[in-house]
Structure 1
Amino acid sequence: RGLPWEAFRATLDRRHLGLALLGLAHTVLLWSGDILGGYAVLGFVLTYAFYRRTDRTVRLWRNALAWVMAVVAGLVALFTPLVMWALAMGRETLPGEGLDLDALIQESAQEVGQASDASWLVDLPERLAVWLGASITMPLVLTVTVPMLTGLLWARRGLLDRPAEHRRELTRIAVVGIPAAWLGGLPLALTPLGVWPDPVSPLLTTGVHLATGVLGGLGYAALLGLVAARLEGRAGALPAPARALSALGRMSLSGYLLLTALMAPLLAGWGVGLGRDLGTAASLGVAAAAWLVALALAVVLDRAGRRGPAELLLRRITHGPRRAPTPAL
């Protein structure tokens, strides 16, 4: 739009500040697992470090960080079994002095359960501490930073803005990324079912899942780009499920906050406390029900021609109050 860089950067700064404030409110009121604060910090860093850099510079940094992520995941996969084997051997050869991993895991689970039983006010300092630490260190989480830099490159090339022009590349990304994520997450998914052998460490299966999950995220984004290319020009004739998903996508920030507002009081110890007793299937049912509520609300707002409340608030913080147009003389 021809804005000077300083004015445009100030707009982005206000947007990131607004995300941080929403994340802080989210944490204070409901949950320490907020991601908005981390996205705000990462947004500040990437704006000042990369926004005016060339594609080549961004690509070099993205590739370098991706290699670091792959090497770290490989080292974890290589050395974790050795360390756990040594600990197991020490437990067997030094009775009474060895490390009882099962007891440690059970004790940790009990501590988590006791923490979740704390009252809302007692739990507040811990929620704030966890949120602050996670937000500040977000740029160091390569499984987030690498996709963000990839998204910057995609946006510059219009991969998802003009998907019909990039069908071949999007197909290649989807075909590689989605199966990689499924295979990488398979050990973690099968372990609780007893199908996967007794794991040497949750760190190993979780690390592989996170590393391959980056490829899966990019793969699913590419797949949705292909779907959008196929449906392009059919906005008035989209099937109802596609229109509903599109409506929720346009209020994704409000939907994200709504999910916490629905689930935290049900699951947390300071609320109803269902999280202590629900199994995997029941927890999945609660999450699916909350998501369907968010989907229904998005459809209602979309039909009324209204945006999500969180989106409106963030826009107000970013651009200020909407001014009425000046009448022509």
Structure 2
Amino acid sequence: MPTVPSGSVQAPPPAQVRALAPDLARGVMLLLIALAHAPTFVSHADLGPSALNSVSQFLKVLVADNLARTMFVFLFGYGLGRLAAGRFAQGGDWPSVRKLLRRRGFWLLVIGFLHATLLVPIDIVATYGLALLIMAPMVRARDSVLLWTTAISFVPATAIVAWTTVRAHAAAAAGHPESLPSLMKDDFAGQLLLHLMLWPAKVPGMVLLVVPGIAIGIWAARRRIIDEPELHVVLLRRVTVSFLALAVAGRLPMTLISAGVWTTGSTWLPAIAHTIAGYAGGIGLAAAMGLIAVKIGGDRGRLTTALVALGQRSLSFYLFQSVVFVALFYPFALDLADAMGSAAAHAIGVAVWSLSIVLADWMRRAGHRGPCEIALRRLSR
């Protein structure tokens, strides 16, 4: 018999049919990522209809900034927990599971490096890889260790994100908004060189930001909370209602400040509230996907099936978004960074996500897994 870590909950053998909620959540998550990223590729957010741009920016700060990442990180931690539990249930011991996790972490680091250098410098995949290399033992840690890790790392992570929010707001107020066009070069070689210079400083600093979400995701995975949402309806309902309410209330002040509706001497408190509420919102949305999965049950419609197909290929289509954005906005491609404002950029983000759904569903019907998922699985063996 394999030795199962005392701090973990041994799960039954993985089911033949994948759980609905995690993949549905990943499919929706990609929309939030597109909404968060797309406007960063335009030079002048206010170009075009002012009313549409104002609404666009308002929604971005309220529902996407620092919330999409939390949902992404939580689901990543949840996936790690389920992966480890599945291997233990199949008879694997800790040394073999540790090797699997570290190989996966290494290859995620490589994929993220290629993404951040060849495409765009707003990668999260390499951060996951480095975090996994460091945090692999957490999949067998006691529940108390996971919860304390979440609580302790949450404080500096919140401070760092709040600081970046304050800095970004100050830059925008001074007329120099932080955006990627300021880093865009006229040729690919120059862009590649710049990305190579930026990458080493970015990844280590980002690791701390993902630790709370990964740890609480592993904790939730042990209980199969969104794999078996029908067994946790009361908990999911409480988390959905309370966390999403906190997300709206906590994120509204910074949203109003960013929209110019409200002014205050210091933005530190609104930025901290915005960050904390972003963590709550990301987890609340994941919980909401669990409730939706219970409501859907086995009666999946075409849209649900397509969204699930997208969620099953989330890594591939996360990178696909970057390919499209490079093709549209960079000077050595179509060079549209100066041609539109935030509303148009958001429209492109929604269009890219919609196209991703269509392509993912076509891949499902054709029996094709995501290319990045295939590569990661083969390289991690």
Q: Which bin holds the TM-score, normalised by the shorter protein? A: 0.7 to 0.9
Residue 320 of structure 2 is matched in structure 1 by 258
Partner of 2:341: 279
1:187 partnered with 2:250: no
Select which of 50, 59, 63 maps to 2:147. 59
Q: Does structure 1 residue 135 correspond to structure 2 residue 203?
A: yes
Query: Aligned equivalents of 2:280 and 2:199: distance in 1?
Result: 26
1:188-227 alignment runs, 5 A limit: 188-195=254-261, 197-200=262-265, 205-227=270-292
What is the SS of the residue equivalent to 1:56? helix
Cα pair distance change 1:103/1:165, threshold 3 Å:
closer
State the shift of 1:217 in Å.
0.5
- Conserved 8 A contact 1:23-1:35: yes
Report whether the alignment pairs 1:229 with 2:294.
Answer: yes
Q: Greater CA deviation, 237-246 or 61-70?
A: 61-70
Residue identity matched to 1:161: D
Q: Which amino acid aligns with 1:217?
A: G
Provide the secondary structure at the position in 2 that maps to 1:131. Answer: helix
Q: Deviations over 1:261-296 (max 9, x none)?
A: 111221223332222332111010111111111111
* 3-state SS in 1 of match to 2:113: helix
From 209, 213, 216, give the equivalent of 1:150: 216
**For 1:158 and 1:111, how far apart are their aligned partners in 2?**
39
TM-score normalised by structure 1 residue count: 0.79
Query: Displacement, 1:66?
Result: 3.3
What corresponds to 1:323 in structure 2?
Answer: none
- For 1:168, the equivalent position in structure 2 comes to 234
Q: Which residue of 2 aligns with 1:300?
A: 362
Task: Write the letter of the residue equivalent to 1:58.
Answer: L
Which protein shows a greater Rg?
Answer: 1
Which structure 1 segments of 5+ residues have no match?
A: 85-100, 320-329
Does residue 10 of structure 1 match 2:99?
yes
Picking from 308, 327, 331, the partner of 1:246 is 308
Deviations 1:83-128 (A, max 9, x none): x9xxxxxxxxxxxxxxxx789933x449964432443221223322
Partner of 2:371: 309
Percent identity over paired residues = 28
In the alignment, is the contact (CA less than 8 A) between 1:174 and 1:219 conserved in 2? Answer: yes
Residues 305 and 269 from structure 1, CA distance in 2 versus in 1: closer, same or farther, beyond 3 angstroms? same
Most deviating of 273-282 and 248-257: 273-282
Q: What is the DSSP-based 3-state SS (H/G/I as helix, E as strand, rest coil) of the residue aligned with 1:198? A: coil
How far does residue 25 in structure 1 lie from its aligned partner after superposition? 1.4
Counterpart for residue 112 of structure 2: 23
| Gaps in structure 2 of 5+ consecutive residues | 1-89
CA distance in 2, matches of 1:279, 1:262: 17
Corresponding residue for residue 92 of structure 1 = none
**Structure 2 residue matching 1:182: 3-state secondary structure:** helix
| Inter-partner Cα distance in structure 2 for 1:180 and 1:36 | 28
Code of the aligned partner of 2:246: A
Q: Residues 190 and 264 from structure 1, CA distance in 2 versus in 1: closer, same or farther, beyond 3 angstroms?
A: farther
Residue type at the aligned position of 1:57: V
Distance 1:103 1:299, change over 3 A: closer
Residues 240-277 of structure 1: CA deviation (Å, up to 9, x unaligned): 11111111000001110101111122122333222233
Residue identity in the other structure for 1:301:
M
- Given that 1:41 and 1:138 are in contact with CA atoms closer than 8 Å, whether structure 2 keeps it comes out as no
> Structure 1 stretch 199-208 or stretch 39-48: which is displaced more?
199-208
Moved more, 124-133 or 273-282: 124-133
Check whether the contact 2:186–2:331 (CA below 8 A) recurs between aligned residues. Answer: yes
How does the TM-score come out when normalised to structure 2? Answer: 0.69
Return the structure number with greater relative CO, CA threshold 8 A, min gap 6. 2
Q: Number of paired residues?
A: 288
SS of the residue 1:158 aligns to: coil
Q: Does the C-alpha gap of structure 1 residues 23 and 154 become closer, same or farther in structure 2, counting only changes over 3 Å?
A: same
Q: Would the aligned equivalents of 2:116 and 2:122 in 1 still touch at CA under 8 Å?
A: yes
1:47 to 116, 136, 158: 136
For the residue of structure 2 that corresponds to 1:214, the secondary structure is: helix
**Residues 240 and 287 of structure 2 are in contact (CA less than 8 Å); yes or no, is this contact kept in structure 1?**
yes
Question: Counterpart of 2:190 in 1: which secondary structure?
Answer: coil
Partners of 2:334 and 2:323 lie apart in 1 by: 13
Distance in 2 (alpha carbons) for counterparts of 1:36 and 1:165: 32
Per mean C-alpha deviation after superposition, the further-off stretch among 184-193 and 13-22 is 184-193
In the alignment, the residues of structure 1 paired with residue 153 and residue 378 of structure 2 have an alpha-carbon distance, to the nearest angstrom, of 35
